[in-house]
Amino acid sequence: MTSAPQHASRQFGLQLPEYPWDALAPYQATAAKHPHGVVNLSIGTPVDPTPALIQDALKAAADAPGYPTTHGTLALRQAIVDWFARRRNVAGLDPADVMPTVGSKELVAWLPLLLGLGAGDVVVRPKVAYPTYDMGAVFAGATPVAADSLAELDAETLAKVRLVWVNSPGNPTGIVRGVAELKVLVEQARAIGAVVASDECYGELGWGAWDTENGGEAVPSVLDARVSGGSNDGLLAVYSLSKQSNVAGYRAAFVAGDSAIMANMINSRKHAGMIVPYPVQEAMRVALGDDAHVKEQKDKYRLRREQLVGALEAFGLTIHHSEAGLYLWCTAGEDTWTTIGRLAELGILAGPGTFYGEAGNGFVRVALTGSDERISAAVSRLGAKTL
């Protein structure tokens, strides 16, 4: 009789926490009982149509029998460079130092591994943050640490830091890091030999003092010379077209920055077959060359935001930060799930702040990504009931 291999009982698969959004299921069931339907403002997924010029570009490139390039077509990379110069105050970027990615989430999740991080290395992310930053560290075997400044870390931890994530405008808080703050972070990271990766996917969606169409300042990029000192060494900027162009379903994003890191990452992604389909590359190229549809979409979000701010405040919520992006970061001064439950009774689904780290306790995230009709419905319901 042959004995079973010693490893036979080993479980296959990664041992990861359950996907947090599954915890919303009972509240979604409550909200679904509302006689006029659910207003789902829990996830920031675009609901408005993809602009026709982008759809047309995708269709025109549909005859694509050959393999696309991992690095992206030169035409796309030049469009990205031109967009950085025109919209992000980043001049002189080399087309060799940009690359399309399959959405920005996969890049966030795989960047620590692609950088060669592993056991003993520390990945720093904001205290209130998108959970994928932590997952990326876990996939690589590194250790995620929550901190809003490297100055918060003890000497032992600081010595292990290899990657620092900054998210500005932030998800879920909507906080914007100004030029001076970003510059200090870059200098601190360079002093310890760490990479700074800046997730900037809400960069076009500034409000108030950051709303360029109303006389405000543009949200700065980590590659802006005022931040970088004119050198992209140790810096990466990550951007997604999902929000500004309503193409979340296309998985259209890109990364740019440090020449040596980019060259190595392009090579690694070639080996792994991590490639953006050619029709999507063409859609990206066209989208990046057109600012009109971005302005039109932002105008819609601005109106929805203005309506929701007043209604949420009338409901008894206080809005913190939220100066940019697609979310309102709110608190009623009570447990997160109590607020989620009270909103669900009105048929409104919001995102629990607890999904974004311990510092999110007591907060909820309300997305602007509802149709005009659904936003109006939420405003009406919120105004009908207060604390």
Say if residue 352's pLDDT is above 90.
yes
Average pLDDT estimate for 55-69: 97
Average pLDDT estimate for 70-78: 98
Say if residue 384's pLDDT is above 70.
no
Cβ-based neighbours of 39, under 8 Å, separated by 6 or more: 31, 347, 348, 349, 370, 374, 375, 377, 378, 381
Please state whether beta strands 327-331 and 318-320 pair in parallel, antiparallel, or not at all (unpaired). Answer: antiparallel
pLDDT-above-90 percentage for the chain: 90
Q: Report d(CA 358, CA 58) in Å as an integer.
A: 42
Say if residue 248's pLDDT is above 60.
yes
Pair 305, 328: CB distance under 8 Å: yes
Q: What is the pLDDT of residues 22-32, one digit of tens each?
A: 788 999 999 99
Neighbours of 303 (CB within 10 A): 13
Pair 137, 95: CB distance under 8 Å: no
Per-residue model confidence (pLDDT) at position 18: 76
Q: Report d(CA 90, CA 81) in Å as an integer.
A: 8
Neighbours of 196 (CB within 10 A): 25
Q: What is the pLDDT of residues 125-163, one digit of tens each?
A: 999 998 999 999 999 999 999 999 999 999 999 999 999
Q: Put the strands of the sheet holding 363-367 in their side by side order.
A: 318-320, 327-331, 363-367, 351-352
Per-residue model confidence (pLDDT) at position 386: 46
* Residue 91 backbone zone (phi > 0: left; psi -120 to 50: alpha; other: beta): beta
Say if residue 258's pLDDT is above 80.
yes
Cα 264 to chain center, whole Å?
23
Q: What is the pLDDT of residues 259-317, one digit of tens each?
A: 999 999 999 999 999 999 999 999 999 999 999 999 999 999 999 999 999 999 999 99
> Could you tell me the CA-to-CA distances from 335 to 75, 126, 340, 349, 367 in Å, in that order?
50, 21, 9, 16, 19
For the entire predicted model, the pTM comes to 0.92
Q: Please, what is the average pLDDT of the chain? A: 94
Per-residue model confidence (pLDDT) at position 75: 98
pLDDT-above-70 percentage for the chain: 97
pLDDT band for position 385 (cuts 50, 70, 90): low
Q: Report d(CA 373, CA 357) in Å as an integer.
A: 32
Per-residue model confidence (pLDDT) at position 13: 85
3-class state of residue 208 by DSSP: helix
Both tokens assigned to 1? 């009789």
Q: What is the DSSP letter of 133?
A: H
Q: What is the DSSP letter of 19?
A: P
Say if residue 3's pLDDT is above 60.
no
